Amino acid sequence: MKMETKTRLKRVKRVSYQIIVTMRCITSCKWCLQMLDVLPWDQVDTDITVEDVETAGRLLKEGGYRIKWLRITGGEPVLHPRIIEILDTAKQIWRINGRVHVYTYRKYPWKGLIQHDKHKLLSPGYKERRPFRVSPADLGIEPVYGENSLCPQQSGCGHSFQHFGFSFCVLAGPLGELLGENCYEAFPIRKGRRSICQHCLFSLPTPRRFEIQEEVKSGKIKEPTKTYTEGIQRWLDDPPVPLTFQERLVAEGKR
């Protein structure tokens, strides 16, 4: 009996996740990790649906996943008109063992959510965001994390789910679109992709990443680097329209 229990536990994949409920935002933070300060996300419908959250929860369960903790983010998550329903649905269906945190801008009027005691409201409260639009590949630096081991973003912020599907980290979707490579899937994915991770500063050890970021702030390294500059311009010239999560399910014959 004990052996059966151990075997069953080994099959459970314990992961952390972040649901990006919308890319709409009320601020324009410099060096936003979703690149909302430079990319016209407002030209695309990015609001997740309650059905998206329900279906994703079912797929995670079928895949043997348990959620260690869940972040609800954006954009500004409380701009989503059905944020309470999304929170309740995730709490009921996503097999969450740990906490659920809503990351929202500190000055936003949290009316309605502040009384919602099932979830904790957090404001990151960054004094200063760090530059990250620097491709290690542009600097001739090989990635250390992301493809075969979790990077700081994957381990600290978790994997990602949003209106366009699952992605292996919270930066993979936007960065993939910037590079012209789809990083959204209809099913949960854990392993990173070298073609994406090699252009992400979080693929480097934290001390090395901080060193590069300080060199950017001092002007020693120009930011954004070539890959980001070309990708941003390509996006502005011809904004991508990613398939939605529901469209991906249909395309793979799962709907």
Q: Which residue has the higher pLDDT, 157 or 9?
A: 157
pLDDT in tens, 12-37: 588 899 999 999 988 777 778 888 88
Average pLDDT over residues 125-149: 82
Identify the pLDDT of residue 10: 43
pLDDT in tens, 230-250: 999 999 999 888 999 999 999
Mean pLDDT of the chain: 83
Lowest mean pLDDT among 34-38, 115-119, 147-151, 179-183: 115-119
Quote the strand ranges of 74-174, DSSP E: 100-103, 120-122, 159-162, 165-167
pTM for the predicted model, two decimal places: 0.85
Per-residue confidence at 112, pLDDT binned at 50, 70, 90?
A: very low
Distance CA 178, CA 169 (A): 15
Identify the pLDDT of residue 142: 94
CA distances for 13 relative to 5, 17, 186, angstroms: 15, 12, 18
Distance CA 151, CA 169 (A): 9
For 162-189, the DSSP string reads ETTEEESSTTHHHHHHHHT----BSS--
